[in-house]
Structure 1
Amino acid sequence: MMRLRRSPPGPARGAGRLRGWLRRLLLVLLLAPPALILAYRVIPPPVTPLMLIRAAQGHGMQRDWVPLAAMAPALAQSVIASEDNLFCRQALGFDFGALRAELQAWWAGERPRGASTLTMQTAKNLLLWPGRDPVRKLIEAWLTPQVALLWPRQRVLEVYLNIVEFGPGLYGAEAAARSFFDKPAARLTPREAALLAAVLPSPLNWSAAAPSAATQRRAAAIERRVAQLGPLLDCAPAD
């Protein structure tokens, strides 16, 4: 009896396998981020892409996770006053008014000033690489509402304040407080908290330990802003 030899897979079969692999890859890309974000709702993130990048650049990695309750309330208040005044009122983690202004500025040929919220910064710092390229911004916009929907605002503050970069190789409120002020984050004064918030836009160049005159003025403005925000701070820890 003659045995028939199998013919090699044709183009149609190869294309079908490729589509199957692409569907599986798309499913992983869709499900992995929310699963990771959901896990980080209850467990501290072990490391972030920025930490690994800075370590490769020779900056080291100094951090010490503490709960939000172990930080002086002035720190969360100062960060909101400095970075995102409407954090406690936002839907889906976006400041839609600021986004509209950004689009109008872009349409008019002006340079956009930035509309990044604390939730957007948390999503970026937690899962993405630094930079301003359009691909990263697009992924950040996709991740932000997932963080906003899966986490309470206090968790956003807690994770942000534990992973944000305060100096070269220095991450989180506890490490920054001990490095700059020789005290735990729970004992930060309002001025020290404002100084930490003041350096966030450029932590590799600005120092809370030896603040320039411009950084001191920025910190003083943050302190005044905290006093002005009132009910807009109602999702932050209270004094």
Structure 2
Amino acid sequence: MKKNARSGGPGRWLTYLLTCLFAGVVATQVFYFVQIATWQWINPGSTAFMRAERDRLCGLNFWSCGVDRRWVPYNAISRNLKRAIIASEDAGFVNHPGFELDAMLDALEKNRQRGRIVSGGSTITQQLAKNLFLSSEKNYLRKGQELLITWMLEFWLDKQRIFEIYLNSVEWGEGIFGAEAAARHYFKVPASKLGVGQAARLAAALPAPKCFDQKRYCANVRINFRWKAGVIARRMGAAALPDE
């Protein structure tokens, strides 16, 4: 009896494990919060998506292999591309607080009807949160973490800085990340020189960038990129940019 009193039994160990788990979760959030704060002045390095893609492509040969990502400042990216992405991905980007409740509820209903997660209703800020820190796995726990990181991004950074990081981090093909790498890969021009049609095509690629890049990734993709690019090009004139 005395031995059990001192050890506390299984309940004590369960409390200890739950406390450690809670402390780990809190420490992770503090790490994210502080790291995002530094991005007011410092450009982020590699993202979670970049590291996963590098590991997939390179395996143990990471020293002689990598992904193509070339950071360029916001003003060195064509306004055509900025308008195309906002027209395609998040028309209300400059006005919402990082998420749109109606879009998330619509996505929730679509997921309920399909019986699985097929849509997230994500804004540009939410997409950035996922790309920077999370995996491509779809579940509601990850979605909750995405929303928390989205709040952190909107707390510390203005819309132009969020968009700048997004433009330099988003995936555009197999091992291709950011506007500069995408513009040079597909059109042999810098991101600053992208025309309306080129920008619309790159924006159309974002839901399935690997398929846009290589047909072997298109088995489960049902996107008419040419048609979608035409729709985006027609909408670009109404897209509001954060620097306007």
TM-score (norm 1): 0.82
Find the aligned partners of 1:63 and 1:24 in 2 and give their Cα distance: 35
Equivalent residue for 2:235? 225
Q: 1:74 aligns with which of 74, 80, 100?
A: 80
Any unmatched runs of 5+ in structure 1?
Answer: 1-6
Q: How does 1:89-238 map to 2 (within 5 A)?
A: 89-91=95-97, 93-106=98-111, 109=113, 113-207=119-213, 214-227=224-237, 229=238, 233-235=240-242, 237=243
Any unmatched runs of 5+ in structure 2?
Answer: 59-65, 215-222
Instruction: Quote the offset at 1:124 in angstroms.
Output: 0.5
Find the aligned partners of 1:82 and 1:152 in 2 and give their Cα distance: 21
Q: Contact between 2:83 and 2:241, CA under 8 Å: does it hold in 1?
A: no
SS at match of 1:57: helix
Instruction: Quote the offset at 1:74 in angstroms.
Output: 1.1
Equivalent residue for 2:24? 25
Find the aligned partners of 1:20 and 1:147 in 2 and give their Cα distance: 28
CA RMSD of aligned residues (A): 2.7
Q: Does 1:11 align with 2:21?
A: no
Q: Which runs of 4+ in 1 moved over 4 A?
A: 14-24, 104-107, 110-113
Q: Percent identity?
A: 32
Find the aligned partners of 1:48 and 1:224 in 2 and give their Cα distance: 32
TM-score (norm 2): 0.80
Figure out how many residues of one structure are paired with residues of the other and give that number. Answer: 222
